[in-house]
Structure 1
């Protein structure tokens, strides 16, 4: 704090008192100067410390700005890399989707062809089964007719054979009767009785 200025009074005093006053003023001035020098020294130290702190803060701020710049660059690099990876994955996924859609389309076409072929095979099988059933029915009918015909032929043959056998039997009986008669006659000519023999 600067010393207060004293206004000079133009009153006359005694010389001894004025010397002591002067000495007191001088001592006070020396003390004030010493105090001011101490304050100035403290202020200088404070200014030096503030300047040093300011330099440190500026250096720290530069370091932080560089760090921030590096982090921003890293962030941009990461973003760029992630964007590139995303685009690559999106392209790959799009290609895969297109490929799978194409495969699905081909498989659907193949499925449609297979289903058409299956329907055709079923129709052919049903037609073959119908033809087979018709053939079996026709053969069964023919077999039944043949059986009936064979039965008829067999009955006719047996009837014919029976009638032929009857005719033959009758002929043999007639012949046998004739032969018996002839043998009887011959035996009686020789004097033999046919019932005794």
Structure 2
């Protein structure tokens, strides 16, 4: 490999004066070359063994990293799926709450409109009742004034008639007593 093989003779300048090597020298030379090749082979086998061990370690590490990567991927997928489920669940819950609150708002707005309409109706009714009562009060006042006027007229008429009768019958009475009666009648006149 390194120095070449011969069939018994070798001309490599190993002998003195370029003489041919004896078979014993050739055997020693080949034996030395064999030892060197065996050492070299052992070194290369050792390097190959180390390389194979290193390769196995790297392959094991790659397999381990792949496994870790797959585990991480699975965990990430599970976490993502879980977060997606939670997000969708929360979204549905919030949409449900929004719908419920919108329905509540609509119901309260309807009730408010009904209450406002009821208040407006009550105000109208109250205004009508007040107007009716005011009309009745004015009518009663007018009747009372008319009755008071009639009563005053009747009283005046009665007093006038009584005064005439007293005058007629009082001519016979003394002047003193007639003055007192007329004074009392004057107090009753309106």
TM-score by length of 1: 0.65
1:144 is displaced (CA, Å) by 2.1
Question: Which residue in 1 is equivalent to 2:55?
Answer: 54
User: Which residue of 2 is the match for residue 2 of structure 1?
Assistant: 2
Aligned to 1:76: 77
Going from structure 1 to structure 2, the CA distance change for 1:64 and 1:172 (only over 3 Å counts) comes to same
Q: Residue 173 of structure 2: SS of its match in structure 1?
A: helix
Per-residue deviation at 1:131? 0.4
Counterpart-to-counterpart distance in 1, 2:106 and 2:88 = 26
Compute the displacement of 1:65 (Å).
Answer: 1.1
User: Where has structure 1 moved over 6 Å in runs of 4 or more?
Assistant: none
In structure 2, the residue matched to 1:106 is 107
Query: Any unmatched runs of 5+ in structure 2?
Result: 178-190
Q: CA deviation at 1:93?
A: 2.6
- Mark the CA change 1:123 to 1:28 in structure 2 (over 3 Å): closer, same or farther: same
1:8-40 per-residue CA deviation (whole Å, 9 max, x = no partner) reads: 38xxx769x767xx96xx57983x665555544
For structure 1, which segment, 66-75 or 145-154, has the greater mean C-alpha deviation from structure 2 after superposition?
145-154
Structure 2 residue aligned with 1:163 = 164
CA deviations 1:120-164 (Å, max 9, x no partner) are 211111111110111111112122222322332333333333333
Distance in 2 between the 1:152 and 1:28 partners? Answer: 177
Cross-structure match for 2:130: 129
Question: Partner of 2:96 in structure 1?
Answer: 95
Deviations 1:151-187 (A, max 9, x none): 323333333333333333223239x9xxxxxxxxxxx
Structure 2 Cα separation of the partners of residues 153 and 107 of structure 1: 66
Cα shift readout 1:25-67 (whole Å, capped 9, x = no counterpart): x57983x665555544443333222222221111111111111
Higher radius of gyration, 1 or 2? 1
Distance 1:35 1:152 in 2: 168
Q: Per-residue deviation at 1:3? A: 4.8
159 and 2 in structure 1: CA distance in 2 versus 1, 3 angstrom threshold: farther
1:57-89, CA deviations, whole angstroms, 9 ceiling, x for partnerless residues? 111111111111111111221222222222222
Rounded to whole Å, the distance in 2 between the matches of 1:144 and 1:39 is 150
